[in-house]
Structure 1
Amino acid sequence: MKHWIFPLVFGFAFTSHAELTNDQRVEKLQKGVEQGNVEWVREAFAGLKDPFKKARGLFGGDSGVFAEYSGEYFLDKTFIARPCKDEIALILLQNGAVMQTYELFKKASEGGCPKSIQYLIDTKDSALTAQGAMDFFKFYGKKVGQVIRDKEQGIVGAEDALDAWDPIQMSFEKFVMEKCPDRTKTSKECLARAAFDETASNVSARAEAAKKNMVKQEAEDKYLNSPEGIAAQICEIDARIAEAKAEVQRQRAVGKVAGAVSLAALHWAGEKIVDLTQARKTLESDFVKKTGKSPKCR
């Protein structure tokens, strides 16, 4: 036997979206964007056709309470979020939300929104997309350069910063390769390909130089941790300690003649002797562990 509550429940489920007022839809959309709730954003658009067709239209709100909210406002909220609310931005774009095309490409690409970028590539004018690609390649090249510098400084996981931009780079690369198979052409798309080629070349050269520096640094580190390297460091420290001690003796000799010494010079030399002596003890301990012998300097 059918329960009387079934048609009420299911009837409400089928009509709930249609019963929403424009203000309610805007409020649901606002909360959905702010909280990253994709379903709420979808529900706000359910059953509507061209919701952003008019400048204010639906998102002016029936009562004007939400008059400041527009497609551009909501898109901007999704692009500046970290991480980018890509799925929500895509729904907004598919429902007609717009902003200046240059800003669209710039904010979506720099914000790390690959789905939105692919949608824009598929739907926007080719020349405008090419400009967006050129701007992104310059931006991406700088980011890669920063990651390489971070890796050279030993920052662990520096390359993870590129994860959000890698798929965008690949989408733009595919676009320029398909639109400009002949590099001799001077179309906007071929200018974008030239920008890609230049960025790729610069990144490749920078990466190769970084690789050589890392190999060199690894060799230096290996030497410094070897018995030979440790002995060399100890001998260098002994020489610097001798220089500091000589300065102390010099200041004492000056004091006998002039009746006064430079307290700053004495302090500097004494501090140097203490610090170097401690460093020497650590190195000597490492040397003994590795060789079983005490270090000797000529």
Structure 2
Amino acid sequence: MKHWIFPLVLGFALTSHAEITNDQRVEKLQKGVEQGNVEWVREAFAGLKDPFKKARGLFGGESGVFAEYSSEYFLDKAFIAHPCKDEIALILLQSGAVMQTYELFKKASESGCPKSVQYLIDTKDSALTAQSAMDFFKFYGKKVGQVIRDKEQGLVGAEDALDTWDPIQMSFEKFVMEKCPDRTKTSKECLARAAFDETASNVSTRAEAAKKNIAKQEAEDKYLGSPEGIAAQICEIDESIAEAKAKIDRQRKIGKVSGTVDMSVLNLAGARIVDLEEQRKELIAELRKITGKAFKEASCK
């Protein structure tokens, strides 16, 4: 019997001595939040009840070294990280971390913490959640607008920028749909649904316009890369070269009459001719590559 009793007793003693102090817990919490180590954060709270209560919580500690810290400090650290330390923020919230509720919603949603936002939706006042939803829909609408502008400018992967906020938008959308099934009502939740509907409508309109613009630009690009389009560009260049040469000829005529010419006009026109001729050579080479034929000067007439 004795062979298993002693290890149990010894194990109990080791556990008791291994109990960490509040200062050690806060130090582990600080490093866990800063380094994104979820396990350290969990260990800091292990066995504690109401760790953020001022009277018996972590931050008084034995030494007072960590007295300046607060739950708000650690939440801020989790929210400002890129990407957001969502799992850590959620543990902090579940452990009783507090912050002014409106700011809490704003930081969690705009930082892209979907788990934390869902926790807040599930636990906070419905009217306040509705206000936060309205504010987020406006924020999200601006982000979508920026993505659409980027897409119109041909930036690859522009839509990936929304990945951070898509789950949060879906959570708020679900909230307003469930809380306001009847759009004729005037509750705070229904005002939030109206804000969602407006944002969705605006985004849809912008997206449709962008789709048409992109299709138009793609068609133009396709034409410019075709033999017909390349030939048309060469003809346009020939016209521009002729215009620049005409400016030079005019200055020479002026010089014969007055004895002086405007050198800046001559310089700009000459530089333009040089640049245009280089572009012309490139286009002619591209046309030959595509068609196997030389450009016919007569095609511009």
Could you say which TM-score interval applies, normalised by the shorter chain? over 0.9
Counterparts of 1:256 and 1:41, CA distance in 2: 87
Q: State the Cα distance separating 1:288 from its structure 2 match.
A: 1.8
The amino acid across from 1:94 in the alignment is Q
Counterparts of 2:55 and 2:175, CA distance in 1: 31
Q: Structure 1 vs Structure 2: percent identity of aligned residues?
A: 79
* 1:258 is aligned to 2:258: yes
Structure 1 partner of 2:71:
71
* CA displacement, residues 87-131 of structure 1 (integer Å, 9 cap, x when unaligned): 000000000000000000000000000000010011101111111
Using the size of structure 1 for normalisation, the TM-score is: 0.94
Counterparts of 1:145 and 1:243, CA distance in 2: 41
* 1:198 is aligned to 2:198: yes
Change (3 A) 1:133 1:67: same
The within-5 A match list for 1:132-151 is: 132-151=132-151
SS at 2:202's partner residue?
helix
Structure 1 partner of 2:101:
101
Change (3 A) 1:193 1:56: farther
SS at 2:59's partner residue?
helix
SS at 1:58's partner residue?
coil
For the 8 Å contact 1:105–1:117, the answer to whether it is kept is yes
* 1:294 is aligned to 2:261: no
For the 8 Å contact 1:56–1:67, the answer to whether it is kept is no
Q: How many equivalent residue pairs?
A: 297
The amino acid across from 1:230 in the alignment is I
SS at 2:218's partner residue?
helix
Counterparts of 1:84 and 1:234, CA distance in 2: 52
SS at 1:102's partner residue?
helix
Structure 2 partner of 1:225:
225
Q: State the Cα distance separating 1:61 from its structure 2 match.
A: 2.6
The amino acid across from 1:268 in the alignment is L
Change (3 A) 1:103 1:286: same
Q: State the Cα distance separating 1:9 from its structure 2 match.
A: 9.1
For the 8 Å contact 1:56–1:70, the answer to whether it is kept is no
The amino acid across from 2:136 in the alignment is F
The amino acid across from 1:297 in the alignment is C
SS at 1:293's partner residue?
coil
SS at 2:117's partner residue?
helix
For the 8 Å contact 2:54–2:60, the answer to whether it is kept is no
SS at 2:83's partner residue?
coil
Counterparts of 1:81 and 1:9, CA distance in 2: 43
SS at 2:69's partner residue?
coil
Counterparts of 1:290 and 1:23, CA distance in 2: 74
Counterparts of 2:156 and 2:172, CA distance in 1: 28
Q: State the Cα distance separating 1:7 from its structure 2 match.
A: 6.1
SS at 1:66's partner residue?
coil
Counterparts of 1:248 and 1:56, CA distance in 2: 88
Counterparts of 2:83 and 2:16, CA distance in 1: 34
Q: State the Cα distance separating 1:62 from its structure 2 match.
A: 2.5
SS at 1:163's partner residue?
helix
* 1:248 is aligned to 2:251: no
Structure 2 partner of 1:188:
188
Q: List alignment gaps of at least 5 residues for structure 2.
A: none
Counterparts of 1:198 and 1:273, CA distance in 2: 52
Q: State the Cα distance separating 1:161 from its structure 2 match.
A: 1.0
Counterparts of 1:274 and 1:121, CA distance in 2: 65
RMSD: 2.2
The amino acid across from 1:136 in the alignment is F
The amino acid across from 2:125 in the alignment is D
Change (3 A) 1:139 1:241: same
Counterparts of 2:194 and 2:111, CA distance in 1: 24
Counterparts of 2:251 and 2:14, CA distance in 1: 93
Q: State the Cα distance separating 1:60 from its structure 2 match.
A: 3.0
For the 8 Å contact 1:33–1:78, the answer to whether it is kept is yes
Using the size of structure 2 for normalisation, the TM-score is: 0.93
Q: List alignment gaps of at least 5 residues for structure 1.
A: none
Q: State the Cα distance separating 1:279 from its structure 2 match.
A: 0.4
